[in-house]
Amino acid sequence: MLKKFSDWLKYNRSCSDCTIRNYTLGLRLFNEYLKSLSLSIEECESIKIRHIDQFIYEQRFFRKKNERTVNNYLAWLKLFLRFCLIQWYNVENYNKIMYVKEHKKKIEALSEEECIKLFEYFKSVKCKNETEELIKTRNLAIVSLFMYTGLRLSELSNLKIKEIWEDMQLIGKGGKERYISIHPDDLRIIKLYLFLRKDNSEWLFVSHSRSCKNRKLSNVGIENVIKEWSRKAWIIGRVFPHKLRHTFATNLLRSNAPLPHIQQLLGHNNISTTQIYLTVLNSEIKKTQNSITRF
């Protein structure tokens, strides 16, 4: 059943491998719970709403999962039941599943000062040999693309050399197409990185460590690049790829870019998703209010 569901997500819903992996992992977790009740995912017609409610209760109050996580589980279960219904199984009405109320999501982004610190650090790094110069140039290209194009982690890691143009079409989350522009300065960094490389890999970003040299740089590898360089730049707090995507969006807002334009650049289906970035500017709005002269 899980294999059929995975194939359906891939071929009927055009979901990415990462999305499919997350959905199936969540369902396997639910399947483990069902086994304790002498049931399984394969017996989808025996799954009742009360089983889902009990599973979510266990995840929230015994496994200490937050509201966002359990709502992800619920979304996956709803979609699975919908799939079962399409396959003519007599399953429970998935519309009866109710989401847990979430607290407002807090968006994390770098401040303007932190952005300056990050790039100033890159300028200050002195390289001892060609390999260090190669890695530095690659890492600068990675950070620049996150900061100035708003790419998702999976989108950046899957870039191929042949796809890189000043104006390029990108197939993003859910198979959605969007256009992004790469600034000439960032293109020069990418071209320098490619010039320094001595391999024939089709991937834009590859590993230069001895253990997996010239292999495609993994998502974890990219996350480690961001983590290491932000730490060396003395940026307080955890920095991760999606935080740089958030920074891209909030910097556009600071520049008074219209929300519909930001929505298109980020590849959001709904503008309400884009509007959550407005909360990041609340502290700046408060500063503006507090700067008024008092009499």
Pairing relation of β-strands 167-171 and 177-181? antiparallel
Identify whether 246 is a catalytic site residue: no
Any catalytic annotation for residue 208? no
**What's the pLDDT score for residue 82?**
95
Average pLDDT of 212-240?
A: 93
Q: Provide the phi-psi class of 64: left if phi over 0, else alpha when psi is between -120 and 50, else beta.
A: left
* Domains in the chain: boundaries: 2-96, 112-281
CA distance to 32, 114, 134, per residue, from 121 (Å)? 47, 11, 16
118 touches 235 (CB < 8 A): yes
- Tens of pLDDT, residue by residue over 116-173, are 999 999 999 999 999 999 999 999 999 999 999 999 999 999 999 999 988 887 877 7
Q: Which of 13, 82, 136, 242 is catalytic?
A: 242
Top CATH class of 112-281 equals: mainly alpha
More confident site: 287 or 80? 80
Contact 76, 26 (CB under 8 A): yes
Given the residues 138, 173, 243, 246, the one annotated as active site: 173
Catalytic site residue 245?
yes
Any idea which of 14-23, 34-43, 111-120, 154-163 has the lowest mean pLDDT?
14-23
One-letter amino acid of 182: I
Question: Catalytic pick from 178, 208, 245, 246?
Answer: 245
Tokens of 90: 């007599």
| pLDDT value of residue 241 | 94
User: Is 242 considered catalytic here?
Assistant: yes
| pTM of the model as a whole | 0.74
Cα–Cα distance measured from residue 207 to residue 214, given in angstroms and rounded to the nearest whole number:
5
Report the pLDDT value the prediction gives residue 243, as an integer from 0 to 100: 94
Q: What is the pLDDT of residue 118?
A: 94
145 residue type, one letter: L
**138, 243, 246, 268: the active-site residue:** 268
Backbone dihedral region for residue 214 (phi beyond 0: left; psi -120 to 50: alpha; all else: beta)? left
Q: Are 206 and 216 in contact (CB under 8 A)?
A: yes
CA distance 14 to 237: 35
Q: Quick one: pLDDT at residue 290? A: 66
268 is catalytic: yes
Helix (H) or strand (E) holding 98: none
Residue 114: which of 220, 223, 229 has the closest Cα?
229
Q: Which of 152, 208, 243, 246 is catalytic?
A: 152
Q: Are residues 91 and 42 in contact, defined by beta-carbon separation less than 8 angstroms?
A: no
Residue 52 has pLDDT above 80, yes or no: yes
Q: Residue 291: pLDDT band by 50, 70, 90 thresholds? A: low
Decide if 71 contacts 100 (C-beta within 8 A): yes
